[in-house]
Every structure is written in C-alpha cells, then in structure tokens.
C-alpha cells in the first residue's frame, strides 16, 4: 500500500466511483489478498470457471465481494493479433468483466448511485448459500448483469446506504437515485478468513444454470472497463464498503 495509491482510491470514491480490483492469483502459494482489493472502497473480485467453481489460483478471504468468469477467457496469443487462444484468464480478467457488468447495469439506470448499482449486482449474483453469508471464495456470488439488464430483477434500495455495511455514505449517495426507498437487507459481519460460508465456499451452482451466466461468456469480447486506475483497479462510478 502506498500513500499515493490510497489517496487516488479515496479521491475516486469521493467523486462517486464504483471501484473493482482483482484479489490476486496466488492462492496456491501465499494467498494474501492485498491492495488495492483490500481497500474499504474497492470491490474485491475473484475468478470462477464456467460451472461457477472458484479457480484454484484465485485468492480468498474477507475482502472477496463478487466473482466473475476468470478461466478460459478468449485472448490474442501474440502481439500481431493474428493468433487467438482461449486459455487466458485470472482475477484481472474477472475484474474487467465485473466492472463492465456494473457499467451495463448503470447504462440502463443512469440515475442510480454506485450504492444502488452494487446492491443490485449483489442481489442478483448467482449463489447457493444465503445472501447474508458471503463466501470467502466467491463473496456474494457470481455476477449476472442479465438478471437486471434483461429481466429487470434486483432491488436498488436507498441511494445513500452502503449495501455491504448498511452505513450511510458521504454525500447522500452522489445522485438522485431511482426513487426506490426500499430498505437494504441486513448484512452480518463477514466470517473470519479461511472460514466457509454455509458450506458453499467453492461453487455458485445457481449461476451455472442461468442465462445471465451464459450471456457473460458470450459477450466477453465486447465488454470493456470504463476507467482504469493503476494496479488493476477498474472504475464504473461511486463509494462503498467497510471503514
């Protein structure tokens, strides 16, 4: 962690940005979820395969908030862009997909705040464990933007309340919101690092059986992050999380 990086994250969060960062690819060696994913304003993203199972390399712990496809991601094999491979991946790729998913939701609801966008991503995430018991491996589940963008599911809730801590955020949420005043679901404290979450720490079975997951895999080539801030942090638009 550097002071400059910390200042940059705080600045972006204070300007209403929703920040995403990969939790890292060293689960089989050191498994230390570091910065920027560990910053309280940043959504930590882990990598999952097509079936919704966490990747062996994806680091885990209390800073994992959401998961996205991160294995067998199509990519160019060389600098000439003539050879195409499908074995790419990592939590960085998963983070780009998570960020782009937030951008898709936001594009449909431009007057929502980041709190509302993140709440809907959490609400519609694929999981087979209780929403109030985030997994150390997949967080609140596998991201599924189609559940909102196509099917209109997910409750945005209050504009000025962090969906993870249920605490008020600075600036009243940074926007007018959607007019939805529903109360957010109460979310208990995260389990200790290394603990399981309802016995479902490694899979998101619901996600693998849903059209939202399939949509993600079919549009990987067209999704891009809105803003990139050093260290693999992707921004879509506003502040959140634990202090």
The string of pLDDT tens digits covering residues 192-215 is 333 333 334 455 544 434 444 444
pLDDT greater than 60 at residue 232 = no
What total number of domains does the chain contain? 1
The reply to whether 178 falls in a domain is yes
CATH number, domain of 122, equals 3.40.50
The reply to whether 243 falls in a domain is no
Length of the chain: 243
Q: Which residue has the higher pLDDT, 163 or 85?
A: 163
Contacts of 159 (CB under 8 A, 6+ apart): 112, 113, 115, 116, 172, 173, 174, 175, 176, 177, 178
Full DSSP string of 128-191: SS-TTS-BTTTBT-B--THHHHTT-------TTB-TTT--B-GGGGSS---S--PPPPP-PPPP
pLDDT greater than 60 at residue 37 = yes
pLDDT at 123: 96
Provide the residue range defining the domain that includes 93.
3-235
- Tokens 């991946």 sit at which residue? 89
The reply to whether 52 falls in a domain is yes
pLDDT at 47: 96
The reply to whether 159 falls in a domain is yes
The reply to whether 144 falls in a domain is yes
The reply to whether 207 falls in a domain is yes
The sign of the CA dihedral 218, 221, 223, 228 is positive
Judged by DSSP in three states, 68 sits in: strand
Q: How far apart are the first and last CA of the chain?
A: 16
Residue 192 DSSP code = P
Residues 72-83, mean pLDDT to the nearest whole number: 79
Residues 88-95, mean pLDDT to the nearest whole number: 90
The reply to whether 19 falls in a domain is yes
Q: Which residue has the higher pLDDT, 30 or 174?
A: 30
Peptide bond just before 36 cis, omega within 30 deg = yes
What are the distances in angstroms from CA 173 to CA 11, 134, 229, 235?
15, 24, 22, 16
Percent of the chain with pLDDT over 70: 69
pLDDT at 203: 53
The reply to whether 184 falls in a domain is yes
Q: Are 203 and 53 in contact (CB under 8 A)?
A: yes
């Amino acid at each position: 962690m550097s002071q400059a990086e910390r200042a940059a994250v705080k600045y972006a969060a204070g300007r209403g940005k929703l920040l995403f960062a990969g939790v890292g690819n060293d689960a089989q060696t050191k498994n230390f979820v570091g910065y920027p994913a560990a910053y309280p304003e940043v959504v930590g993203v882990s990598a999952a395969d097509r079936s919704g199972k966490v990747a062996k390399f994806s680091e885990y712990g209390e800073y994992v908030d959401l998961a996205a496809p991160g294995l067998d991601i199509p990519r160019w094999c060389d600098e000439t862009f003539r050879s195409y491979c499908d074995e790419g991946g990592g939590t960085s790729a998963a983070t780009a997909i998570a960020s782009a998913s937030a951008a898709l939701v936001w594009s449909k609801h431009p007057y929502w705040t980041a709190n509302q966008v993140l709440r809907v991503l959490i609400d519609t995430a694929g999981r087979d464990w209780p929403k109030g018991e985030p997994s150390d491996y997949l967080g609140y589940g596998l991201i599924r933007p189609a559940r909102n963008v196509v099917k209109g599911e997910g409750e945005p809730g209050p504009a000025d309340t962090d969906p993870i801590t249920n605490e008020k955020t600075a600036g009243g949420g940074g926007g007018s919101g959607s007019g939805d005043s529903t109360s957010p679901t109460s979310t208990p404290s995260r389990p200790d690092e290394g603990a399981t979450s309802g016995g479902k720490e490694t899979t998101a079975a619901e996600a693998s059986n849903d059209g939202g997951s399939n949509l993600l895999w079919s549009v990987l080539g067209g999704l891009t992050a809105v803003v990139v801030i050093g260290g693999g942090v992707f921004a879509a638009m506003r502040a959140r999380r634990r202090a």
